Structure 1
């Protein structure tokens, strides 16, 4: 494992993009040290364990406690989680097409912007980590890697390709770049 000094870290987010903006987003979260924590792939199907159940329950709860989001497909894998999520302010979740205007972000804050993809991911990761640490009778042990991957879905072709990728991810586990034996 390599450690990057905090001063050398750089954001993987799109510069000047407003992540509170209505639209569809593909997110991927990876477990700490790519540890297989959430279950196993058996006969090309994901069999989640009690920790995987926590991920599912907290993900579903996210849509209940955050009025600005809607969930689409998702998959819990042994060491990662994929999902499509919508920020829905005046966004038709059934028509994912066309580029949306980019709005510059000028505020500087200590945490993620409220009602943003970053806030959703931070809250979700925190809730899952808290629940797993409670179940393990531990405190402060990491569950997730520090960051997450996101992709702004800009058109229907991309949306359908990503959706298929998520749904078929368990069947492709052996070829997955995140697969750890």
Structure 2
């Protein structure tokens, strides 16, 4: 009973009071379960993707096709984790442009209502293709929670990885492909955005010093503080 209760009272690593459905720019890190290196290797400071790593990169690019307000930015698939930046843009609602706001503060109730999806009377959502893409996919036309974006990415990559195990003899994983949670950072300004892009670009060259390359100190999620920048992992 104690274990079950603890499971349902885990400390959230999200920013308290912040609405992750609001437009904004987000830096995301997702780790492979147990930090298994399933996506390739770093050779002389450059990431060499295997077939599974190439699959992960393809599904990241598909975020823009699944979610109409998502714009993919910098990304890197490392041997046992991925870093990426997504811009969850606003849309025009009743002639009002709901654009990205880099200022971090909880949204008002009025703003929350403005971001709610609207459907015409009697309309029904379209069905997505089996692979989650293509004509007929259920495109989200308003900003969606970051957790939903990440969950879709995890689901699609996991499903294809399982097919790779069955059809292409990819290495098996234990339990789940991805760790239960993910780490995110809300990008505050252009300077921070530029530094994060540089960090992602240089990640393979820093692999030997990367905390996620150290499997001796297992953690469920990356820590928040690293070299004075709280978005680094």
TM-score normalised by L of structure 2? 0.66
Secondary structure in 1 matching 2:82: strand
Q: CA deviation at 1:101?
A: 4.0
Structure-to-structure mapping, 1:1-181, within 5 angstroms: 5-89=6-90, 90-91=98-99, 98-103=102-107, 115-137=144-166, 141-180=175-214
Deviations 1:88-114 (A, max 9, x none): 10436xxxx8515421699xxxxxxx8
Residues 70, 85 of structure 1: 8 Å contact kept: yes
Residues 133, 139 of structure 1: 8 Å contact kept: no
Residues 38, 52 of structure 1: 8 Å contact kept: yes
Where in structure 1 do 4 or more consecutive aligned residues deviate above 4 Å?
138-141
Structure 2: where are the runs of 5+ without partners? 91-97, 113-142, 167-171, 216-233
Deviations 1:58-89 (A, max 9, x none): 11111111101001010000000001101110
RMSD: 2.5
Rg bigger for which structure?
Answer: 2
TM-score normalised by L of structure 1? 0.84
C-alpha separation in 2, matches of 1:23 and 1:62:
15
C-alpha separation in 2, matches of 1:140 and 1:179:
18
C-alpha separation in 2, matches of 1:104 and 1:127:
33
Are the structure 2 counterparts of residues 101 and 7 from structure 1 closer, same or farther at C-alpha, using a change threshold of 3 Å? Answer: closer
Structure 1: where are the runs of 5+ without partners? 107-113
Are the structure 2 counterparts of residues 64 and 98 from structure 1 closer, same or farther at C-alpha, using a change threshold of 3 Å? Answer: closer
Partner of 1:111: none
Higher relative contact order (CA 8 A, sep 6+): 1
Are the structure 2 counterparts of residues 140 and 63 from structure 1 closer, same or farther at C-alpha, using a change threshold of 3 Å? Answer: farther
Q: CA deviation at 1:7?
A: 2.7
Partner of 1:110: none
